Amino acid sequence: MNKPVRNIFLILIALAALIQLYPVNRKNPPVTQDIGAPPTIAAILHTSCYDCHSNETRWPFYSYIAPASWLVAADVKRGRKFMNFSRWDTYSKGMQDTLRSRCYALAAANLMPLPNYLLIHRDARLDSVKLEVLRVWGGTKE
Ligand code: HEC
């Protein structure tokens, strides 16, 4: 390796090390409640949605390595803000109904789980049987 190339290489390694210092919030807030869905629904939600929509996130190894960690943490933060199954009781009855039907609508449109998540979590994919279960649960006639 000639000198300029080696220097660029060393700088890149230093930068990769440096960005690891930027703090990432991977804290799971205490789980004080849960949506308490029927077992069939709960199983689907746990496998496909809980990593971003609950306080029970399973943080994968790459969530400890920047810059992947930043992307994972951002999805979890945003996902929890929109809908958190660990805070279900804080939503009004009307909001709960809306969220349930949105769950089906977004899943049926392949918008949830997020496509980038599905690339890595193949078991989170929703087949037609699971979608049908979500449809009935969501109470939609679509
Ligand atoms: C990898 C993280 C991730 C996973 C897994 C995930 N979501 Fe989301 N979800 C998000 C984010 C982020 C948002 C905020 C809206 C956006 O950025 O598109 C969101 C928003 C939502 C919303 C509210 C949005 C609205 O417009 O009403 C619903 C409902 C939802 N997700 C349902 C689900 C369901 C159902 C699953 C599982 C089948 C799921 N999500 C899995 C990240 C995720």
* Largest distance between two CA atoms of the chain: 67
| Ligand 1 close to Cβ of residue 83 (< 6 A) | yes
In the chain, the percentage of residues whose pLDDT exceeds 90 is: 95
Write down the pLDDT at residue 1: 79
- Find the helix packing angle between 39-48 and 128-138, rounded to 10°: 120
Distance 98 CA to ligand 1 centre (A): 13
Q: Would the pTM of this model clear 0.85, i.e. be above it?
A: yes
Q: What is the pLDDT of residues 24-81, one digit of tens each?
A: 999 999 999 999 999 999 999 999 999 999 999 999 999 999 999 999 999 999 999 9
| Ligand 1 close to Cβ of residue 87 (< 6 A) | no
CA distance 80 to 88: 11
| Ligand 1 close to Cβ of residue 72 (< 6 A) | no
Q: Which residue, by CA, sits nearest to atom 24 of ligand 1?
A: 82
Ligand 1 atom with minimal separation from the 78 CA:
12
Question: Cα–Cα distances in Å, from 37 out to 33, 52, 117?
Answer: 12, 17, 23
Ligand 1 atom with minimal separation from the 50 CA:
5
